[in-house]
Amino acid sequence: MSPIEGISAVTAATIERLAGKMLIGGEWLAAASGEIQNVTNPATAEVFTHMPSSGASDVDRAVEAARAAFKNPKWAEMRPSHRQRAILKLADLLEANIDELAELESLDNGKPVTMANRVDVRGSIEYLRYIAGWATKIEGLTVDVSFPRPRDGGNYFAYTRQEPVGVVGAIIPWNFPLNMAVWKVGPALATGCTVVLKPASETPLTALRFGELILEAGFPEGVVNVITGSGSVVGAAMSSHPGIDKIAFTGSTEVGRTVGLSAMNRIARVSLELGGKSPVIVFDDANLDAAIPGAASAIFFNQGQACTAGSRLYVQRSIFDQFVTGVAARAAKMKIGPGLDPATQMGPLVSQRQRNTVCEYIEKGLAQGGKLVAGGERPDLPGFYLQPTILVDMPQSSTVVQEEIFGPVLVAIPFDDADEAVALANDSPYGLAASVWSSNLSTVHRLTPKIQAGTVWVNCHNLLDPNLPFGGCKLSGVGREMGRAVLDLYTETKSVLMAV
């Protein structure tokens, strides 16, 4: 293990305390096998801690703990207002530890600590406060039925109840680790479910620290369990586990398909938030002072490792050169450096593997006739850095336009009119998000219904709100997280019909 430069004593103590442990049934345990796996700092390529490398028997233990907690009257009979208060307390605990959580996230993932603070941690707190409110607002319907009345002159009374779905298996990725944990654990707690949470192997720290804060907030043991280990072992065991009632997955489309099939094989509930290849469509009447920085941040935010990254830029031909030059100038000026340096605007990618994948895409783009107008190089630094990159002269059918790269790589293509822009935007297997930039309301209103995406932003990009449903169509997934819609993912509807 190497000492870590630039972190506070509090963060260092947390890393030491959590090393080699995971949370099952309220206890901090090693894997039954004693096996561990290393965690690497992407800014230095050095291993700085380790976590349990769990096996199927550890998954069994975690599921048993979650099942017991689901039946435990301390949780099962907790009043909604108390669940709400406990979630609010959890949000307060996150707030009391913002700086530490931001450092942990930056260290694990590589992202700039200022962004981790603002987006990952504060966003998680906002979301918990939002979802806490739903705990006291879960409601069913009274329903009029049309059966002939019973002979005794009585009637029928029918209503629905929304009941917790049960034990939730949450499998999350490394790009927004705390956010993704909170997006799944939050609604599970609000609706009275229990959880087995598996963070990504690259980024276990904030999920484990979140587990500590969940216990501190007073949730009974086993309500949330955090289990670490490889996806192909732990994630696969969770997806097929008969004790898990619902799988909530965020990650790649490829793994999501496997997870979904495995869960559906036993008819478990499944929600999938998967990949994206989001188009950014810019018309010549757009406010370029907003659209140029908007398009740059749409792709380079979080080193391009965002499912909603605006990775395909379609610009009306008359302003194409001017626009791309503007975005390239911003890319060239971005300060690349370690996430823990507050001046950093772009940190390293999460891992060597991820950087290799992204670089292979850039090479493929160049081999298919693309031209670089920004970046393309690995800076001469010890971590997994990559310059923000822009490719032009790529046909719509090329690999870099069609496949998700999940890195700071933008492909820019000109279009002539709105019909062509929509056709290009929809020519993708993905349908997560899109943005349209124009000052003409008619253009915007004509376009938004035609775009195949779960979210369409207008004159902005990458803005997510706790009250706005979020999710994808096509290969981008199934189900909507956030907003009122998320409650449907964590509850079952029970219909009750009484002869009275």
Measured distance CA(419)–CA(439) in Å, rounded: 17
Nearest residue (CB) to ligand NDP, 49 versus 84: 49
Q: Which tokens sit at 238?
A: 């969770």
Asked whether the beta carbons of 123 and 362 are under 8 A apart, the reply is no
Residue 408, CA distances (Å) to 27, 367, 388 in order: 40, 18, 5
Q: Does 477 bind ligand NDP (CB under 6 A)?
A: yes
Candidates 214-222, 229-237, 334-342, 370-378: pick the segment binding ligand NDP (CB under 6 A).
229-237
Asked whether the beta carbons of 243 and 63 are under 8 A apart, the reply is yes
Beta carbon of residue 201, minimum distance to ligand NDP (angstroms, whole number): 3
Beta carbon of residue 413, minimum distance to ligand NDP (angstroms, whole number): 21
Q: Does 406 bind ligand NDP (CB under 6 A)?
A: yes
Candidates 115-123, 227-235, 370-378, 379-387: pick the segment binding ligand NDP (CB under 6 A).
227-235
Q: Does the annotation count 221 as an active-site position?
A: no
Asked whether the beta carbons of 232 and 251 are under 8 A apart, the reply is no
Q: Does 357 bind ligand NDP (CB under 6 A)?
A: no
Report residue 456: phi and psi, to 5°.
-120, 120
Provide the mask over 430-459, with x wherever binding to ligand NDP is found by CB under 6 A and - wherever it is not.
--x---------------------------
Residue found under tokens 């099939």:
261
Q: Does 171 bind ligand NDP (CB under 6 A)?
A: yes
- Which listed residue (201, 303, 435, 491) binds ligand NDP by CB under 6 A? 201
- Name the nearest CA neighbour of 187 among 497, 471, 466, 496: 466
Measured distance CA(469)–CA(246) in Å, rounded: 19
Q: Does the annotation count 307 as an active-site position?
A: yes
Q: Does 172 bind ligand NDP (CB under 6 A)?
A: yes
Q: Does 491 bind ligand NDP (CB under 6 A)?
A: no
Instruction: Tell me, rounded to whole angstroms, the distance of Cα 287 from its chain centroid.
Output: 30
Q: Does 195 bind ligand NDP (CB under 6 A)?
A: no
Q: Does 352 bind ligand NDP (CB under 6 A)?
A: no
Nearest residue (CB) to ligand NDP, 171 versus 296: 171
Kindly give the pairing relationship between strand 142-143 and strand 156-164.
Answer: antiparallel
Most distant CA pair in the chain: distance in Å?
A: 86
Q: Does 258 bind ligand NDP (CB under 6 A)?
A: yes
Q: Which tokens sit at 350?
A: 């999460």
Candidates 58-66, 101-109, 118-126, 173-181: pick the segment binding ligand NDP (CB under 6 A).
173-181
Provide the mask over 297-336, with x wherever binding to ligand NDP is found by CB under 6 A and - wherever it is not.
----------x-----------------------------
Beta carbon of residue 231, minimum distance to ligand NDP (angstroms, whole number): 2
Nearest residue (CB) to ligand NDP, 266 versus 335: 266
Q: Which of 100, 221, 307, 481 is catalytic?
A: 307
- Which listed residue (119, 135, 223, 255) binds ligand NDP by CB under 6 A? 255
CA triple 492-494-497, angle to 5 deg: 170
Taking the alpha carbons at both ends of the chain, their separation in whole angstroms is: 70
Q: Output b/e per residue, 118-134; b: 16+ Cβ within 10 A.
A: ebbbbbbbebbbbbbeb
Q: Does 373 bind ligand NDP (CB under 6 A)?
A: no
Measured distance CA(415)–CA(436) in Å, rounded: 13
Candidates 130-138, 156-164, 193-201, 207-215: pick the segment binding ligand NDP (CB under 6 A).
193-201
Nearest residue (CB) to ligand NDP, 228 versus 443: 228
- Name the nearest CA neighbour of 222 among 342, 62, 76, 369: 62
Q: Which of 100, 105, 202, 273 is catalytic?
A: 273
Contacts for 478 with CB less than 8 Å, ≥ 6 apart: 260, 270, 271, 272, 471
Provide the mask over 263-282, with x wherever binding to ligand NDP is found by CB under 6 A and - wherever it is not.
----------xxxx------
Q: Does 235 bind ligand NDP (CB under 6 A)?
A: yes
What is the per-residue DSSP string for 18-46? HTT-EEETTEEE--TT--EEEEEETTTTE
Provide the mask over 103-122, with x wherever binding to ligand NDP is found by CB under 6 A and - wherever it is not.
--------------------
What is the per-residue DSSP string for 368-397? TT-EEEE-----SSSS-----EEEES--TT
| DSSP assignment letter at 232 | I
Candidates 11-19, 26-34, 233-241, 390-398: pick the segment binding ligand NDP (CB under 6 A).
233-241
Q: Does 197 bind ligand NDP (CB under 6 A)?
A: no
Q: Does 370 bind ligand NDP (CB under 6 A)?
A: no
- Which listed residue (29, 104, 116, 236) binds ligand NDP by CB under 6 A? 236
Contacts for 323 with CB less than 8 Å, ≥ 6 apart: 282, 288, 291, 292, 295, 315, 412
Q: Does 239 bind ligand NDP (CB under 6 A)?
A: yes
Q: Does 489 bind ligand NDP (CB under 6 A)?
A: no
Active site (catalytic) residues: 273, 307
- For ligand NDP, the binding residues (CB under 6 A) are 171-175, 198, 200-201, 230-232, 235-236, 239, 250-252, 255, 258-259, 273-276, 307, 404, 406, 432, 472, 477
